[in-house]
Amino acid sequence: MARIICGEGMPNFYAKDIIKGESGNKKHPPCISEVLDPAFLPYIENQVGKPCKSMQDYGWRLDQDGNPIIEDCQKVMFANYYYSPESLAIFDSLYTNKYKLQD
C-alpha cells in the first residue's frame, strides 16, 4: 500500500498523514470486522502468523524518511502487513473517503 508499511502504490505522504491522524484513536481496529474476527483470526494466524501486529512491533530499521528498510521488510511474507493497524487504517481511509483521500 505504501512505503511506511513495507509496500508500494499509494504516495507515502498520504499514508503518513493517515497514520498520524489515526494515532489519536485509542481503539484497536478489527482485522477483518468485529463480527468475523472470532471465526477467521485463528485461521489467519495459522496461515500468516499473528494478525494485527503493528509495524513498530517488527522492530525494522528505518531509513532517513522513517520508512522500514526494504531488506527488513522482505524478511516477512508481505501479506502479514495487510493486517497491521496501520494498513487497516489506510485501507479504511481510502475506501470510506476518510480524510477526503479520494477527493
Q: Kindly state whether residue 103 falls inside one of the protein's structural domains.
A: no
* Model confidence pLDDT, tens digit, residues 19-77: 887 666 555 566 667 787 788 878 777 776 666 788 888 999 999 999 999 999 999 98
pLDDT of residue 75: 95
30's grid cell: 478489527
pLDDT of residue 28: 54
- Measure the CA–CA gap between 26 and 98, rounded to whole angstroms: 17
Query: Which residue do the cell numbers 501479506 mark?
Result: 79
pLDDT of residue 86: 87
Return the higher-pLDDT residue of 86 and 70: 70
What phi and psi values does residue 32 have, to the nearest 5 degrees? -110, -65
Q: Which amino acid is at 45?
A: E
Provide the number of structural domains found in the chain.
1
Q: Model's pTM, two decimal places? A: 0.73
Q: Kindly state whether residue 35 falls inside one of the protein's structural domains.
A: yes
| H-run or E-run covering 48 | helix 37-48
Q: Kindly state whether residue 44 falls inside one of the protein's structural domains.
A: yes
Count the helices and strands in the chain (H runs, E runs): 4, 0
pLDDT of residue 83: 79
Neighbours of 34 (CB within 10 A): 9
Enclosing domain of residue 55 = 3-19+30-98
Q: Kindly state whether residue 69 falls inside one of the protein's structural domains.
A: yes
pLDDT of residue 30: 64
pLDDT of residue 78: 87
Strand-pairing partners, residue 38, are none
- Measure the CA–CA gap between 52 and 82, rounded to whole angstroms: 8
Please check the confidence at residue 5 and state whether its pLDDT lies above 70: yes
